[in-house]
Amino acid sequence: MLNISKNRINDRLDTKRYESFEKLNNPFIGPKVKRTFFIAAFVSLGGLFLPWTQNIQGKGTVTMRQPEQRPSEIQAAIAGQIAQWYAVEGDLVEKGDTIARLQEIQNEYLDPELIARTQEQLDAKQNGVESYIAKVSALESLVQTLRTNQQISAQSLTFKLQAARAAAQADSANYTAEAQNLKVAQDQANRFEQLFNQGLKSRTEVEQYRVKLAQGTAKTKEAQQKWEMSKNRQLDAKLELGNNSNAYLEKISKAQSELATAQGALAASQGELAKLQNTLRNYQVRSGYYYILAPQTGMLAKVKKQGIGETVKEGTPLATIVPTAYELAVELYISPIDMPLIHEGSQVMFQFDGWPAIVFRGWPNTSYGTFSGAVIAIDRITNEKGKYRILVAPEEEWPQNLRAGTGARGIALLNTVPVWYEMWRQLNTFPPDYYEPVQAKEKLDKPKLKLK
């Protein structure tokens, strides 16, 4: 006892009956306690300098890494009625396997010979188009022939006009010569008349010159008539050349009008033909939608429309298919305050639901039952809950029985600091140390080309 109080109990207690009093009175107890205290203090102080891996935590689920590897819905491309199922839930189907068959319910597609009848209409319209093509070709040939004939006829008439002009010039020259000869004969006849009156010439000589004058007058009139006829022929050739152009112009205009009409009819027929081709192709494609095919190899997981005769609309989900070959990844959701600490390539340790694990967050190497991964994608916007989504792919082999939808608890590993620093940071509610993984650092350190 310390004998601090004035109220003594030594005389009322038998200290030998209690073991604790005996130990307190033992002179060797004090050094043992001190030694134990100092050892504990030294171990605790040494533990403060142990390395501690900073981390942030998040929860998520297992998913498929590639979009085409994730479960997808098989939808009805057209409205119809379920006629038959060829697969049930749990069946493994290959890509292109028939899962179900629909039958038509819309009035415009109920004819079982719809495609054949449309093909007949298409063939008939094709024949009509070919007829219009032949007509257009014939009219084009006719227009070309008329233009050629016009050129030939115009050339021939031009030659005729030139010949008539030359003949007229020749007749004009002949008439001029005959008129000159007539004037000479007139002068000679007048002189012989005077000489006859003077008695110097005989009547016979005078009559001879009168005969020559009459012959010259007749030749002059004949030459004048011939010249007039040549001028008329020249005028007729000129008029004929002009009439030729007008006649062929009328024929060519009429042929061109018929050609334009045929070309318009051909264009309309070709438009109707293209429309029929489009309609036929639509019918053929629609007939292919009667059979619901597996878009990829996988397992038929859930059939949503099971009844035979049940009517479905366009885009109605009929079943869900889950691919059999896929790569796993984990979707983790982290708070915006931790977002700057995550980079592509950051390491993340996982604890999956259903797999026992002993986790030491600060010493990941001593954890048991955890699996590592690396960040491969980070969303740029938050979800409806205000958190960012990151996608983590495995760095090592994950459990074989792990499936999509399994819950996962992720621990993103950050910088390594002493324990005392982490305790000080936690007490002051400071964020973890910011760091960059090797891949991100290499990208930042890579020199950039300067644009000149």
> Tens digits of per-residue pLDDT, 392-451?
999 888 888 888 888 888 888 777 778 788 788 778 777 676 555 555 444 434 433 333
Co-location of 308 and 236 in the same domain: no
Do 424 and 347 belong to one domain?
yes
CA distance 364 to 347: 11
Q: Does 392 lie in the same domain as 352?
A: yes
* CATH value at residue 163: 1.10.287
Contacts of 294 (CB under 8 A, 6+ apart): 74, 93, 94, 95, 96, 97, 98, 99, 321
**CA distance to 128, 129, 130, 140, 141, per residue, from 134 (Å):** 10, 9, 6, 10, 11
Measured distance CA(147)–CA(248) in Å, rounded: 8
Q: What is the CATH number of the domain that holds 84?
A: 2.40.50.100
149-197 tens-digit pLDDT: 878 877 777 777 777 777 777 777 777 777 777 777 777 667 667 766 7
CA pair distance 452, 450, nearest whole angstrom: 6
Do 315 and 331 lie in a common domain?
Answer: no
281 and 367 co-located in one domain: no
**Among the three residues 301, 323, 345, which one is the final residue of a domain in this structure?**
323
Identify the sign of the CA torsion 89, 94, 96, 98: negative
CA angle 80–86–91, rounded 5-degree value: 125
pTM: 0.55
> Looking at per-residue confidence, does 234 or 127 come out higher?
127
On whether residue 32 sits in a domain, the answer given is no
The tens digit of pLDDT for each residue in 8-29 reads 666 666 666 766 666 665 555 5
Q: Which amino acid is present at 444?
A: L
If asked whether residues 303 and 402 sit together in one domain, one would say no
Residues counted in the chain: 452
Task: Identify the domain containing residue 169 by its residue range.
Answer: 114-288
The whole-angstrom separation of Cα 35 and Cα 29 is 10
Domain end residue (candidates: 298, 323, 348): 323
Please tell me the total count of domains within the chain.
3
Query: Mean pLDDT highest for which of 5-14, 92-101, 224-233, 413-422?
Result: 92-101
Name the nearest CA neighbour of 410 among 356, 340, 358, 352.
352
Please check whether residues 246 and 297 belong to one and the same domain.
Answer: no
Cα separation, 404 vs 347, whole angstroms: 21
Residues 221 and 362 placed together within one structural domain of the fold: no
Give the DSSP H or E segment for 372: strand 371-382
Residue 399 lies in a domain: yes
pLDDT tens per residue across span 283-341: 888 888 889 898 888 888 888 877 788 888 888 888 888 888 888 899 999 888 778 77
